[in-house]
């Protein structure tokens, strides 16, 4: 199976596009597993809050930590991310497609949604995910030649092509 990667330049644009993709695919009758991200700006703070909503009736997880002014460390709450990963993994059965917010630094290091992506591919399930250029090398090392670049509007045709080729 294949992985469709979506990369948009504006902050938050990929997250919003993936949420719309998941909703449109579900409206077409596909069973969509995965997680989409929503960021909420916090006035007076340098960073936003990051929340993952697990599809197919899953939970909502705050995956960012408020580290305080002047902090330069990572603000990902790895524990919350792993809870979301387990929630998504438990909802893969019977899904037609997996949509994920991104292949990020955590996945590049072998954690996060990396195992869920591999499981979906092993089940013959296509994956659509966000990919920031800074994580492209790690993604290529993981995905090899299984990836295609997609746009928000091309995903339905891309999926139809995969089904036709199967």
- On the question of pLDDT at 159 being above 90, the answer is yes
Q: How confident is the model at residue 15 (pLDDT cuts 50, 70, 90)?
A: very high
Whether this prediction's pTM lies above 0.75 is answered by yes
Average pLDDT, the chain: 91
Q: How confident is the model at residue 107 (pLDDT cuts 50, 70, 90)?
A: very high
| Integer Rg of the chain from CA | 15
Burial class (CB in 10 A: 0-12, 13-18, 19+), 155: buried
Q: How confident is the model at residue 108 (pLDDT cuts 50, 70, 90)?
A: very high
Tokens of 27: 């409206």
* N-term to C-term CA, the chain: 9
The predicted pLDDT at position 73 comes to: 45
Write the pLDDT tens digit of every residue in 62-100.
998 876 666 554 578 889 999 999 999 999 999 999 999
Q: Which residues contact 20 (CB under 8 A, 6 or more apart)?
A: 152
Write the pLDDT tens digit of every residue in 51-61.
999 999 999 99
Mean pLDDT in residue range 3-19: 94
The predicted pLDDT at position 65 comes to: 81
The predicted pLDDT at position 20 comes to: 97
The full set of domains in the chain, from first to last, is: 3-36+53-62+77-165 (3.40.50)
Mutual orientation of helices 78-89 and 114-122 as an angle, nearest 10°? 10
Answer for the pair 65, 77: CB distance below 8 angstroms, yes or no.
yes
86: closest CA among 51, 68, 61, 67?
A: 61
- On the question of pLDDT at 48 being above 50, the answer is yes
**d(C-alpha 129, C-alpha 116), whole Å:** 12
Write the pLDDT tens digit of every residue in 145-155.
999 999 999 99
């Amino acid at each position: 199976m294949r992985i469709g990667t979506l990369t948009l330049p504006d902050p938050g644009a990929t997250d919003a596009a993936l949420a719309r993709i998941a909703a449109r695919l579900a409206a077409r009758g596909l069973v969509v597993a995965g997680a989409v991200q929503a960021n909420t700006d916090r006035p007076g703070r340098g960073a936003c809050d990051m929340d993952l909503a697990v599809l197919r009736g899953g939970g909502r997880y705050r995956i960012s930590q408020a580290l305080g002014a002047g902090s330069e460390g990572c603000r990902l709450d790895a524990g919350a991310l792993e809870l979301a990963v387990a929630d998504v993994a438990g909802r893969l059965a019977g899904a037609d497609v997996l949509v994920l917010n991104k292949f990020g630094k955590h996945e590049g290091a072998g954690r996060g949604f990396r195992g869920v992506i591999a499981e979906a591919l092993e089940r013959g399930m296509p994956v659509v995910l966000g990919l920031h250029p800074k994580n492209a090398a790690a993604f290529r090392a993981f995905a090899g030649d299984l990836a295609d670049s997609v746009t928000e509007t091309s995903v339905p045709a891309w999926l139809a092509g995969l089904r036709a080729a199967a």
